[in-house]
């Protein structure tokens, strides 16, 4: 191997500070050590503008500005710690060229759904931005930040590798994103300055209430990081941004409105099955006379009850195993099931079927009680067998759901729904089963080993 490029960074969940530190800081150290053992001569690592010490002005700073981080931001604190790891490694291994690229905010259309999940949250009505722009946009007073398009960041890493560059490099577009420019791109050109002293506690409360995933530390970054001077990248890498920060932001906003993404789990798009994109007509749909409405209603009600319990279980499963490598896959399945649950509710409402609160609540309560059984590691422990059983139960639940969609496909005309809607849901269920099967394989290979912890980080030898 000639070069290694290390880009990985875990942004969420904020509350799991030990996990974030382990992945981001210790993980960087592990990559560097592995590269050294493999005889790699050049390593390029993604740092960030967030690593810099705070400032109170807009004077451009070069790479020699201290990287002490902003103490009130866990992201900034860990980025600063990562810089210490890079410095120590470079000093211990002068024969290896280490380049640390420090980009501003990285935007692209296909990150639209990801950025909504990580920062704005599912409650944010970003979809309306495709057809509506707010007349007045409330923004933090004194907001100014730098951004760069993902394509330009990729080009910078390419040049760093080709030229075997070493040292730090600021990577950003030439223009600043201020409240004025952001309001022109996102809104209709007008904004309301909101003092940071008033906004910070509101942001903190919204985050603690789980309304939004972004915590107040990101507001501190927006106010306190320095404006970067990227002339060193131009001189030593021959790098120039091809898109402005305003263009990158505009592309991101369009991507957020559309829920854009890619095939990778972190960049997955917003729920995209045909059934969830097509709005069911608002008026009540009457079943044909040859269909027994009472039996069909009971059938769909039973599936809704099972779906409610299944949704609760998969969400809890994702939370329980957030610190395992299969968390992204489990969380992706959870989002799909959440969307399908909402669709089934809407479909029943359209048929004029009342939601059956008793059976749904009973199934939900049964699912809760089922979790109270012994797990082999005590009430405070987390048994490795639990992931195996949880995956098996969810595979069974998804299989049942898939057959439910197949039954409804046979009655699509009577329900007044295009067959393609149910065909898409069946395909999504097949994919969910495959994903859960991979989770099951991961867990089963590790659950029954003696003398090894399945979930705890491996101790250094």
Domain map (residue ranges) of the chain: 3-258, 274-444
* CATH among 3.40.50.720, 1.10.3720.10, 3.40.50.300, 3.30.1360.170 for 3-258: 3.40.50.720
d(CA 115, CA 261): 10
3-state secondary structure of 61: strand
Residues in the chain: 461
d(CA 453, CA 327): 17
Contact 369, 332 (CB under 8 A): no
d(CA 104, CA 248): 12
Closest residue by Cα to residue 333 from 355, 316, 351, 346: 316
d(CA 28, CA 20): 12
Closest residue by Cα to residue 206 from 286, 119, 304, 266: 119
Phi, psi (deg, nearest 5) at residue 281: -55, 140
Contact 287, 403 (CB under 8 A): no
Beta bridge partners of 338: none
Low-confidence ranges of the chain (pLDDT < 50): 272-279, 358-381, 458-461
3-state secondary structure of 396: helix
d(CA 151, CA 240): 11
Closest residue by Cα to residue 58 from 194, 223, 196: 223
Strand 97-103 and strand 42-46: pairing? parallel
3-state secondary structure of 348: helix
Beta bridge partners of 102: 170
Is the pTM value of this prediction over 0.85? no
DSSP string, 98-117: EEEEEE-EEE-GGGHHHHII
Q: What is the DSSP letter of 149?
A: E
d(CA 338, CA 458): 34
Contact 75, 12 (CB under 8 A): no
Contact 99, 165 (CB under 8 A): yes
> Which pLDDT value is given to residue 77?
97
Strand 147-149 and strand 105-107: pairing? parallel
Class for domain 274-444, per CATH?
mainly alpha
3-state helix vs strand vs coil in the chain, percent to 5? 55, 10, 35
Closest residue by Cα to residue 395 from 437, 428, 366, 364: 437
Q: How far is CA 345 from the centre of its chain?
A: 26
The residues, ordered by sequence, that sit 6+ positions from 150 with a Cβ below 8 Å of its Cβ are 106, 107, 108, 111, 248
> Which pLDDT value is given to residue 142?
87
Phi, psi (deg, nearest 5) at residue 35: -65, -40
Q: How many Cβ atoms are within 10 Å of 12's Cβ, its own excluded?
A: 15
């Amino acid at each position: 191997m000639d070069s290694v490029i290390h880009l990985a960074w875990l942004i969420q969940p904020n509350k799991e500070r030990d996990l974030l530190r382990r992945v981001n800081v210790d993980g960087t150290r592990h990559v560097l050590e592995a590269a050294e053992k493999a005889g790699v001569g050049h390593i390029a690592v993604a740092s960030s503008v967030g690593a810099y010490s705070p400032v109170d002005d807009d004077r451009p700073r070069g790479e020699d500005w201290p990287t002490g981080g902003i103490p009130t931001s866990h992201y900034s604190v860990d980025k600063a710690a990562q810089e210490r790891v890079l410095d120590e490694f470079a000093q211990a291994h002068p024969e290896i060229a280490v380049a640390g690229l420090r980009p501003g905010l990285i935007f692209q259309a296909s990150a639209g759904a990801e950025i909504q999940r990580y920062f704005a949250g599912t409650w944010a009505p970003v979809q309306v931005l495709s057809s509506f722009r707010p007349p007045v946009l409330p923004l933090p007073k004194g907001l100014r930040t730098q951004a760069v398009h993902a394509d330009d960041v990729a080009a910078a890493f390419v040049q760093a590798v080709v030229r075997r560059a070493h040292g730090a490099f600021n990577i950003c577009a030439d223009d600043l994103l201020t409240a004025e420019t952001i309001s022109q791109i996102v809104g209709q050109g007008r904004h309301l300055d909101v003092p940071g002293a008033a906004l910070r506690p509101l942001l903190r409360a919204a985050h603690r209430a789980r309304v939004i995933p972004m915590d107040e530390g990101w507001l501190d970054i927006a106010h306190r990081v320095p404006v970067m001077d990227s002339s060193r990248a131009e001189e030593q890498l021959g790098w120039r941004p091809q898109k402005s920060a305003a263009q990158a932001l505009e592309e991101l906003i369009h991507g957020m409105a559309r829920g854009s993404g890619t095939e990778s789990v972190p960049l997955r798009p917003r729920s995209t099955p045909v059934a969830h994109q097509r709005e069911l007509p608002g008026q009540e749909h009457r079943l044909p006379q040859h269909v027994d409405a009472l039996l069909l209603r009971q059938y769909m009600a039973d599936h809704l009850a099972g779906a409610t319990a299944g949704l609760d279980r998969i969400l809890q499963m994702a939370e329980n195993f957030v610190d395992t490598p299969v968390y992204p896959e489990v969380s992706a399945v959870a989002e799909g099931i959440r969307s399908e649950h909402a669709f089934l509710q809407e479909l029943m409402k359209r048929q004029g079927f009342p939601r059956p609160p008793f059976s749904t609540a009973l199934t939900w309560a049964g699912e809760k009680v089922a979790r109270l059984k012994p797990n082999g590691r005590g009430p405070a422990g987390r048994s490795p067998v639990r992931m195996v059983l949880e995956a098996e139960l969810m595979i069974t639940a998804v299989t049942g759901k898939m057959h439910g969609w197949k039954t409804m496909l046979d009655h699509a005309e009577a329900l007044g729904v295009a067959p393609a809607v149910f065909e898409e849901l069946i395909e999504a269920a097949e994919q969910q089963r495959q994903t859960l099967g991979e989770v099951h394989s991961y867990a089963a290979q590790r659950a029954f080993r003696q003398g090894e912890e399945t979930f705890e980080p491996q101790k250094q030898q």
